[in-house]
Amino acid sequence: MTEALRVQVAVETPQHSGLARPLDYTSKCPLTPGVLVRVPLGRREVLGIVWRERAEGSDFPDEQLLRPVAEVFDALPPLAPAWLALVEFAAAYYQRGLGELALAVLPPELRKLDAPGLAKRHARLIKRLDKAVAADAVDVARPEPGEAQQQALDAIELALSQPQPLPILLHGVTGSGKTEVYLRAAESVLARGRQVLVLVPEINLTPQLEARFAERFPGRRLVSMHSGLTPVQRLSHWLQALLGRADIVLGTRLSVFAPLPRLGLVVVDEEHDPSYKQQEGARYSARDLAVYRAHLERVPVILGSATPSLETWQRAEEGRYQKLTLAGRVGDGALPRVRLFDMGVLPRSKGAPPVLAPLVLQSLRERLERGEQSLVFLNRRGYAPVLHCPDCGWKSGCPHCSAWRVFHKTERTLRCHHCGFTERVPRACPDCGNLDIAPIGRGTERLEEQLAELLPGARIARLDADSARGKGQLESRLAEVHAGEVDILVGTQMVTKGHDFRRITLVVAINPDSALFASDFRAPERLFALLMQAGGRAGRDAAAADRSEMWIQTWHPKHALYAALKTHDFGAFAASQLAERRGASLPPFSHLALLRAESRDAAVAMAFLRAAADATALLPGADQVMIYPPVPPAVQKVAGIERLQMLVECGSRVLLQRLLAEWLPSLHAVRAEHKGLARWAIDVDPLSI
Ligand code: ADP
Ligand code: ZN
Ligand code: ZN
């Protein structure tokens, strides 16, 4: 009788079960790490990934009876060692179970298949791919790179031949030709027989970029990866990547885990975008993992942005990243002239300032007369953020959250944007019966209505999460804008992202000031990026560029952020922000983790966090780590659950990681002592605090 071999298999075990490591199984034949298998777990049989060939140490742990691997998916090539290393790093860094993370980033459809089922899918896919005739290598028209683009491309070319290239920051405003650089760099990588991974922050932005890559590389196979795919598509695209059949993989944050046996280049477009951070489960940053993956696989990574994250910018300043700059717009496209309107100078009628300053209204009228388009940006949706009774003081609070319910006029509802609780808007005040309840403040819906009153005859369209909720609504609205059927586009930050509107010559930002004084230290950075991006929508058409402008209605026209925006000087803005952050020991000059706790009873969450803080006392390096008192987030109660968070700060990433690795496992025991705790979670490198 031959002795059975031992293998360690990553399976999905919940983080809190304490089984964070791969489990031991036996196998009759040797199994390469990265091979997919099905194994028994409890009474079920589950999908797993062979992680190591043999368990370390010579003895089987007494408590675990080794069971044999049930099935091997031998039709597929194993996941590459670099893929396993990436997942192992991500699980350790973000403090999640290895199996939990590894299985979460595989296509869910895989779990439903047994080995013969998958082999059948695989064979069918290969047959289909082999039958598809490759398009002839036609001569695709492509612009000659400009001088700055050529310099960037030379640097990327050099990086491609280096054994361990530095990450590259490609800094350039909207329309400076960054995408063209990605395309040329991809061309070079594809010619070397390698695969290209392109990350985009949002699913809405994939079709445009996909179209540009597909058009440039008609003979190459491009697959997308995002949440809009059906499970069957997702599996098919994943298989094409794994089999090396896909040359280009383009997708949202999850695609950083795409299996790519011939990876040659990673591109992260709009690298500063907060959407790259996963907000639940393993709270990973796809941007940071892309940098790590490129390092592991010794390939260049290009981080592109007009307004890089300050973390990335600082690394470039320190020479840890290579900075390449595209200084101006391609051709004669100029950046819009940024103008600030001081709302403080306006006379107030009945206490409230007018929605639009006269000069701004005049600018909108000029666009209408010339047949040009305008974009009006207000980062708040709904009609009004709150309804109010002037007689008794009633306000439209949410009974389940510490937040107001938003008045949606066309829908005739009061809707909570935190828990979704929705009711028909009351006819009269629920407390005193007063019929004159009134909206306070303004959202995009009201702005749209007010613009229609001020500019009769203008064709106005609104773009926000409410108006774009239905399938295809976003696309059809954008198509209207492109077709010139819209004069004024009103919207939230949704309108500022990526869309290439050629005819827009005016961008108006309505009172974006609140972010200047927000408690989140990243709020100014976000606002600057948002306004740069919004401004970037104007003047993309060179013929109209000299007429393009951005108006900002503000109560703080002297603020340094607006001064830097006026001169389009990201460097100056970054320098002032970084100086502040350095002084306050904030990232990138320190490293943070946030421990969150949730309970119906705030006292329970508080007690858990305090006990958790006490548990650090004896850990190595505890004296180098600062633990702040627990505080509520901006909205403390959501859907009846009280939330608290505790910030952990350390000057050294390594020390923080060491502490977390010791601390987190001990919190399972702490939790057990706090009955009534609904959930707890750790967020490493949190984006919003
Ligand atoms: P970004 O990604 O920085 O917004 P793009 O690469 O999309 O910039 O370039 C903006 C526009 O200019 C696109 O229409 C693109 O086709 C065009 N373009 C880019 N580079 C060149 C070039 N070297 N010559 C002519 N047109 C170019
Ligand atoms: Zn009332
Ligand atoms: Zn609510």
Name the least confident of 7-11, 422-426, 490-494, 603-607: 490-494
Strand pairing category for 301-305 and 168-172: parallel
State residue 166's pLDDT score.
98
- What residues does 199 pair with on adjacent strands? 251, 268
Q: Where is pLDDT greater, at 13 or 78?
A: 78
State residue 63's pLDDT score.
45
Give 475 Cα–ligand 3 centroid separation in angstroms. Answer: 30
Distance in angstroms (rounded) separating the CA atoms of residues 464 and 444: 8
- Ligand 1, residue 176: give the atom nearest the CA: 3
Alpha helices in 383-461 (DSSP H): 444-454
Dump strand ranges (E) for 53-114: 67-68, 71-72
Query: pLDDT band at residue 644, thresholds of 50, 70 and 90?
Result: very high
Backbone angles phi, psi at 634, to 5 degrees: -50, -40
Report whether residue 180 contacts ligand 1, using a CB cutoff of 6 Å: yes
Render pLDDT for 91-132 as a digit per residue (tens, 0 to 9): 999 999 899 999 999 999 999 999 999 999 999 999 999 988
Of 218, 212, 227, nearest to 269 (Cα)? Answer: 212
- Take atom 19 of ligand 1 and give the residue whose Cα is closest: 177
Query: pLDDT band at residue 488, thresholds of 50, 70 and 90?
Result: very high
Q: Residue for token digits 């209204």?
A: 361
State residue 183's pLDDT score.
98
- Chain centroid to Cα 491, Å, comes to 20
Distance in angstroms (rounded) separating the CA atoms of residues 336 and 548: 5
pTM of the full structure:
0.93
The pair of structure tokens assigned to 681 is: 């979670």
Query: pLDDT band at residue 618, thresholds of 50, 70 and 90?
Result: confident
Rounded average pLDDT over 457-470: 89
Give 388 Cα–ligand 2 centroid separation in angstroms. Answer: 8
Furthest C-alpha separation in the chain:
94
State residue 64's pLDDT score.
59
Render pLDDT for 384-414 as a digit per residue (tens, 0 to 9): 999 999 999 999 999 999 999 999 999 999 9
Please check the confidence at residue 61 and state whether its pLDDT lies above 60.
no
Please check the confidence at residue 2 and state whether its pLDDT lies above 80.
no
Of 226, 267, 203, 287, nearest to 498 (Cα)? Answer: 203
The pair of structure tokens assigned to 584 is: 């306050």
Give 640 Cα–ligand 3 centroid separation in angstroms. Answer: 8
Query: pLDDT band at residue 473, thresholds of 50, 70 and 90?
Result: confident
In sequence order, the 6+-apart residues with CB closer than 8 A to the CB of 646 are 594, 595, 596, 597, 609, 612, 613, 627, 628, 629, 630, 631
Render pLDDT for 429-458 as a digit per residue (tens, 0 to 9): 999 999 999 999 999 999 999 999 999 999
Report whether residue 329 contacts ligand 1, using a CB cutoff of 6 Å: no
Render pLDDT for 505-534 as a digit per residue (tens, 0 to 9): 999 999 899 888 888 899 999 999 999 988
- For 304, the 3-state DSSP assignment is strand
Distance in angstroms (rounded) separating the CA atoms of residues 72 and 437: 66
Report whether residue 307 contacts ligand 1, using a CB cutoff of 6 Å: no
Q: Which of 170, 307, 330, 500 to mutate to test the pocket of ligand 1 (most atoms within 8 A of CB)?
A: 330
Ligand nearest to the CA of 437: 2
Backbone angles phi, psi at 504, to 5 degrees: -80, 125
Check: CB of residue 13 under 8 Å from CB of residue 99.
yes
Of 51, 212, 222, 246, nearest to 143 (Cα)? Answer: 212
Rounded average pLDDT over 130-154: 86
- Chain centroid to Cα 338, Å, comes to 28
For 459-482, give the DSSP string. -EEEESTTTT-STTHHHHHHHHHH
Report whether residue 172 contacts ligand 1, using a CB cutoff of 6 Å: yes
Residues near ion ligand 3 (CB < 5 Å) are 398, 400-401, 416, 418-419, 421
- What residues does 649 pair with on adjacent strands? 592, 626
Please check the confidence at residue 678 and state whether its pLDDT lies above 90.
yes
- Ligand 1, residue 172: give the atom nearest the CA: 3
State residue 19's pLDDT score.
57
> Hey, what amino acid is at 394?
W
Check: CB of residue 310 under 8 Å from CB of residue 581.
yes
Check: CB of residue 678 under 8 Å from CB of residue 598.
yes
Distance in angstroms (rounded) separating the CA atoms of residues 452 and 447: 9
The full length of the chain comes to 689
State residue 519's pLDDT score.
83
Report whether residue 290 contacts ligand 1, using a CB cutoff of 6 Å: no
Distance in angstroms (rounded) separating the CA atoms of residues 104 and 102: 6
Report whether residue 330 contacts ligand 1, using a CB cutoff of 6 Å: yes
State residue 15's pLDDT score.
57
Distance in angstroms (rounded) separating the CA atoms of residues 563 and 303: 26
| Three-state DSSP string of 566-586 | HCCCHHHHHHHHHHHHHHCCC
The pair of structure tokens assigned to 132 is: 């598809």
- Ligand 1, residue 174: give the atom nearest the CA: 4
Q: What percent of the chain has pLDDT over 90?
A: 76
Distance in angstroms (rounded) separating the CA atoms of residues 482 and 635: 38
Report whether residue 264 contacts ligand 1, using a CB cutoff of 6 Å: no
Please check the confidence at residue 254 and state whether its pLDDT lies above 90.
yes
Please check the confidence at residue 540 and state whether its pLDDT lies above 90.
no
Q: What percent of the chain has pLDDT over 70?
A: 94
Ligand nearest to the CA of 328: 1
> Hey, what amino acid is at 75?
A
Q: Where is pLDDT greater, at 662 or 14?
A: 662
State residue 10's pLDDT score.
95
Give 537 Cα–ligand 1 centroid separation in angstroms. Answer: 14
Distance in angstroms (rounded) separating the CA atoms of residues 468 and 471: 8
Strand order in the sheet with 168-172: 222-225, 248-251, 195-199, 263-268, 301-305, 168-172, 322-326
Of 490, 410, 503, 411, nearest to 454 (Cα)? Answer: 490
Name the least confident of 15-24, 168-177, 179-188: 15-24
- Take atom 11 of ligand 1 and give the residue whose Cα is closest: 175
Other C-beta atoms closer than 10 Å to the C-beta of 579 total 10
Please check the confidence at residue 350 and state whether its pLDDT lies above 80.
no
Please classify residue 393 by burial: count the beta carbons closer than 10 Å to its beta carbon, then call 0-12 exposed, 13-18 middle and 19+ buried.
exposed
> Hey, what amino acid is at 168?
I
State residue 123's pLDDT score.
94
Backbone angles phi, psi at 495, to 5 degrees: -80, -15
Mean residue pLDDT across the chain: 91
Backbone angles phi, psi at 137, to 5 degrees: -75, 80
Instruction: Tell me the Cα Rg of the chain.
Output: 27
Give 51 Cα–ligand 3 centroid separation in angstroms. Answer: 43
- Ligand 1, residue 306: give the atom nearest the CA: 3
Classify residue 621 as left (phi > 0), alpha (psi -120 to 50) or beta: left
State residue 62's pLDDT score.
41
Distance in angstroms (rounded) separating the CA atoms of residues 307 and 675: 45
